[in-house]
Amino acid sequence: MTSKLPVRANAVTELAKMLVAGGISTDALANAPTIGDIRQLAKRRIPKMAFDFADGGADAENTLRANTGDLAKVTFVPQSLVDVSEQQLKTTVAGEELPLPLMLGPAGSVRIFGGDGELSAVRAAGQAGLTYTISTASSWSIEEIAAEATGPLWFQLYMWRSRDTVRTLVERAAAAGCTALVVTVDVPVNGKRARDHRNGMSIPPKVTLRNAMGVARHPKWFASLMRGPAIGFRNLEGIAEGSSAMSHQEYINTELVNLSATWDDIAWLRSIWTGPLFVKGVMSLSDAHSAAGAGADGVVVSNHGGRQLDGLPSSISVLPRIVDALGDRLSIIFDGGVRSGGDVLKAKALGADAVALGRSWVWGAAAAGGRGVQRVIDIYRSELRESLILLGLDNVENIDRSFVNFPPEWSRPEGSRDLQVR
């Protein structure tokens, strides 16, 4: 009896040749049409503990879901029969012109997702001309990331207990060419991220009984982690005692927990930093007023992607009242739940100057390194252009609230604390 296996194998080979010859792409990344598809590629490429580290939120993840859910409540009001033969997507933030109303926001420990992490991302940002924000908790140092940058750089800073540590990091950021400082104020302690606890996630990642099977199913990911320096917080080398990630984590656990920080610390930062200064994690009018009073040039309206205090409102729902009160005094960047070019336009319509991407570009890095981040940027660029055309606009700077419907209570103060200025 003659086996049919060789015939079948040849048929499969011939079919593959025909598909390629016919121009049908087999590149999953190139064929990913949305950020949601990029997320799915990342989910398949890395083990659950690494994916959940990027994907998860705090506690019951109510705020995480609210960020995306409330953006869906904002609907468009288009205008028709308008000449949109050309589109202008440029915007200006803190005196810097961006080709898109986007920047790559800060994300730490990106090398956990494989490859060279932040280095791939900063290269992709530079190729697109977008600002990249270096995280204090990056897997690579300020200097190592800056060496790969070809576009604008900002630096994200935590309110450390030690002013000497803060001053050192600020001076290094300035020396590396960072043009703006982003001070994160919503992490006096880390929120409880239940997924990470369940998965046994740690920095550096450890193989445990709970996550061993997931690691075994992703040998390429594990091999990429073994290449290069140990995963840790390289910005702390020379600051924290020792050089291991574990000693860095111990330093963070003692020095990052700064329960005595006040707005006076922001005023002090203003005195030692000459460039634009943004306060990230602003979710109330009182905090926005306090940021302005301390000398900040702008705020990032953000609930940390739902990763800190669960039960906060969505970022988009507090954006309008902050814009109404302080949009003429502060640059306002939006962060939270953005998954499409349409979401970017919704934030712009409600008054944001630009949007800082977080999970989106991290999913891209997890899916395919630098190519993944480039694909994420390409998706946003194409969706921005398409949405602008469909709205009947030729310039992203011309969108305003007349082009959207949103819950009216979002533009009203929610309580007496919102009216107080600290």
Q: Is 14 domain-assigned? A: no
From the CB of residue 221, how many other CB atoms can be counted at a distance below 10 Å?
A: 20
* Residue 412 amino acid letter: R
What span, in angstroms and rounded, lies between the C-alpha atoms of 397 and 150?
Answer: 25
Q: In the 3-class helix/strand/coil scheme, how is the chain assigned residue by residue?
A: CCCCHHHHHHHHHHHHHHHHHCCCCCCCCCCCCCHHHHHHHHHHHCCHHHHHHHHCCCCCCHHHHHHHHHHHHCEECCCCCCCCCCCECCEEECCEEECCCEEECCCCCHHHHCCCCHHHHHHHHHHHCCCEEECCCCCCCHHHHHHHCCCCEEEEEECCCCHHHHHHHHHHHHHCCCCEEEEECCCCCCCCCHHHHHHCCCCCCCCCCCCHHHHHCCHHHHHHHHCCCCCCCHHHECCECCCCHHHHHHHHHHHCCCCCCCHHHHHHHHHHCCCCEEEEEECCHHHHHHHHHCCCCEEEECCHHHCCCCCCCCHHHHHHHHHHHHCCCCEEEECCCCCCHHHHHHHHHCCCCEEEECHHHHHHHHHHHHHHHHHHHHHHHHHHHHHHHHHCCCEHHHCCHHHEECCHHHHCCCCHHHHCCC
For tokens 């960072």, what's the residue? 178
Q: Is 17 domain-assigned? A: no
Q: Minimal CA–CA distance to 114: which of 176, 62, 40, 49?
A: 49
Q: Is 413 domain-assigned? A: no
Q: Is 78 domain-assigned? A: yes
Q: What is the pLDDT of residue 136?
A: 94
Q: Is 417 domain-assigned? A: no
Which residues span the domain enclosing 76? 35-408
Q: How many structural domains are present in the chain?
A: 1
Q: What is the pLDDT of residue 416?
A: 46
Q: Is 414 domain-assigned? A: no
Token readout for 18 is: 């025909």
DSSP, res 312: P
pTM: 0.89
Q: Is 28 domain-assigned? A: no
pLDDT per residue as tens, the chain (422 positions): 454 545 555 665 665 565 555 555 678 999 999 999 999 999 999 999 899 999 999 999 999 999 999 999 999 999 999 999 999 999 999 999 999 999 999 999 999 888 899 999 999 999 999 999 999 999 999 999 999 999 999 999 998 888 999 999 999 999 999 999 999 999 988 888 888 888 877 766 666 666 667 767 877 877 777 777 777 788 887 776 554 555 555 666 666 668 889 999 999 999 999 999 999 999 999 999 999 999 999 999 999 999 999 999 999 999 999 999 999 999 999 999 999 999 999 999 999 999 999 999 999 999 999 999 999 999 999 999 999 999 999 999 999 999 999 999 998 765 545 544 43
Going along 274-414, which residue ranges are E strands? 277-282, 298-301, 331-334, 354-357, 404-405
Q: Is 134 domain-assigned? A: yes
Q: What is the CATH number of the domain that holds 293?
A: 3.20.20.70
Active site residues: 304
What span, in angstroms and rounded, lies between the C-alpha atoms of 73 and 406?
Answer: 6
For tokens 């203003």, what's the residue? 270
DSSP, res 367: H
Task: Give the distance, in angstroms, between the CA of residue 152 and the centroid of all CA atoms in the same chain.
Answer: 16
What span, in angstroms and rounded, lies between the C-alpha atoms of 290 and 345?
Answer: 28
Token readout for 404 is: 């959207």
